[in-house]
Amino acid sequence: MVQFTTLNEISNETIMQLLKRAERGIDMLSMSGSKRFTVANLFYEPSTRTKSSFEMAQKELNIHSLHFDVTSSSVQKGESLYDTVKTLEAIGCDALVIRHPLKAFYKELQDVNIPIINGGDGAGDHPTQSLLDLLTIYQEFKTFKDIHVVISGDIRHSRVARTNAAILRRLGANVSFSGPDEWMDYDITYSNVVPVDQAVKAADVMMLLRIQTERHGQNGFIDQENYHHLYGLTIEREQQMKDHSIIMHPAPVNRNVEIASELVECSRSRIFKQMTNGVKVRKAVLEHVLKTKGEVKYENIV
Ligand code: ASP
C-alpha cells in the first residue's frame, strides 16, 4: 500500500520521477476491466487550491470524486478520523485525500488498508504543495543544484516552509530565510536567516508565505502595514531582485502585506503558474498511489 503522507519517506529519485510524470501529462486512468477509481476528499480545514485542484485532477483522470462534507458527516457526532477512514475504505473508496489540523494525523492511520494522500497536516507537512513548488522551480532553472531559494515570512507556523526547506536542501538547493525573529524556527532555518533587504538581492526564488494567523493563538496580533514595510516584498525590494529571479507564494495571498498587490501578477510572479502546476502534480500523485491497487489501464481522451 503506497501512502503519500510526507516527502521525508520518498526518495529523491521518486520525487524526480513524479515531477517528470507531472510535466509530461497523464491520460485517463482506470483499473483493468474499466472499473473507475473512486477517491474521497476529506477536508477538515478550509482549502481553495488544494481541494479544487485535486478535484480537477480526478476529473481529468476519469476518477469519481466522492465529496465528503465534514460539517454534515458523523464527524459532528464525534466520530474519530480512524473510524471515518475505515468506513470509506469499507464502502469501496480506492484512496483518500485528507487535510487535517492535527500535525502528523496520518500516524493514527497506519493500520488502514487504503492509500492516504496528505493534503496538509496542521503546521506539519504539505507534500503536494511542495511538489508543485518544485515543478515550478524546475521549469524555470532545469535544476535544483545551487539555486538560492529564500523562504520569507511566517516560517514557524507554515507547513509549506517546513516541507520545502527539507526537500529543497535534499535536492541541492541553497535555502535561506527571512522574516520576523519571533517567527523563525531553528529546526527549519538552522542559522541561515538573513535580513529581507539582503535576501531579495541574493535570491533566485523569493518564496513568500502567508501569515498563518489561525495558528498564532492569543499573541498573534500583527500590524499588517508595518509588516509589509519591514518584511514584505515591496515594489522597491522587487526592483533589487536579479533579472532572472522569480516570485512564488503558495496562496492565499494577503495583498499589500506579504507582497505588494501590483506584484502578484508581475512578470516575475509564478503564483498562478504554481496553481496550474498543482493539477499536474496531483494527477501524478494519484497515479502513483492508485498504481498499487491493481493493474492500471490508460485510455486516451477522445
Ligand atoms: N495553501 C497553503 C496551505 O494550505 C498555504 C497557506 O494556507 O498559507 O498550507
Q: What ranges do the domains of the chain cover? A: 7-125+276-299, 127-270
Res 181 pLDDT > 70: yes
Of ligand 1's listed atoms, the one at least distance from the Cα of 210 is: 8
- Determine the pLDDT at residue 35: 79
Q: What is the mean pLDDT of the chain?
A: 93
Tell me the C-alpha distance between 226 and 281, whole Å. Answer: 36
Q: 30 C-alpha vs ligand 1 centroid, how far in Å?
A: 31
Determine the 3-state secondary structure of 251 from DSSP.
coil
pLDDT digits (tens, 9 = 90+) for 259-278: 999 999 999 999 999 999 99
278 lines ligand 1 (CB under 6 A): no
Which range has the worst mean pLDDT, 31-45, 86-100, 179-193, 230-244? 31-45
- Determine the pLDDT at residue 113: 95
Question: pLDDT confidence of 102, banded at 50, 70, 90?
Answer: very high
In this structure, which CATH number among 3.20.20.80, 1.10.10.10, 3.40.50.880, 3.40.50.1370 belongs to the domain 7-125+276-299? 3.40.50.1370
Residue 177's φ and ψ, nearest 5 degrees, are: -135, 150
- Determine the pLDDT at residue 302: 39
Q: 7-125+276-299 and 127-270 share one CATH topology?
A: yes
Q: With CA atoms as reference, report the closest residue to 22 among 168, 177, 128, 115.
A: 128
- Determine the pLDDT at residue 240: 98
Average pLDDT over every residue of 6-18 = 96
Res 237 pLDDT > 60: yes
Share of the chain above pLDDT 70, in %: 94
Q: With CA atoms as reference, report the closest residue to 141 among 185, 192, 204.
A: 204
Q: With CA atoms as reference, report the closest residue to 7 among 118, 113, 98, 88.
A: 118
Q: Whose CA is nearest to atom 2 of ligand 1?
A: 250
- Determine the pLDDT at residue 107: 96
Bigger pLDDT: 138 vs 36: 138
Bigger pLDDT: 218 vs 137: 137
What is the DSSP code (8-state) at residue 184? Answer: -
| Cβ proximity of 184 and 161 under 8 Å | no
Bigger pLDDT: 300 vs 26: 26
- Determine the pLDDT at residue 297: 67
280 lines ligand 1 (CB under 6 A): no
Bigger pLDDT: 122 vs 296: 122
120 lines ligand 1 (CB under 6 A): yes
- Determine the pLDDT at residue 72: 85
Res 301 pLDDT > 50: no
100 lines ligand 1 (CB under 6 A): no
- Determine the pLDDT at residue 45: 94
Question: pLDDT confidence of 292, banded at 50, 70, 90?
Answer: confident
Question: pLDDT confidence of 27, banded at 50, 70, 90?
Answer: confident
Average pLDDT over every residue of 172-193 = 96
Q: What residues contact residue 144 under an 8 Å CB cut-off, 6+ apart?
A: 134, 137, 138, 168, 171, 172, 173
CATH C-level class of 127-270: alpha beta
Average pLDDT over every residue of 113-129 = 97
Share of the chain above pLDDT 90, in %: 83
Helices (H), the chain: 12-24, 49-60, 81-90, 127-141, 159-170, 186-189, 196-202, 224-231, 235-238, 271-290
Tell me the C-alpha distance between 179 and 181, whole Å. Answer: 6
18 lines ligand 1 (CB under 6 A): no
Average pLDDT over every residue of 159-174 = 98
- Determine the pLDDT at residue 296: 67
115 lines ligand 1 (CB under 6 A): no
- Determine the pLDDT at residue 2: 86
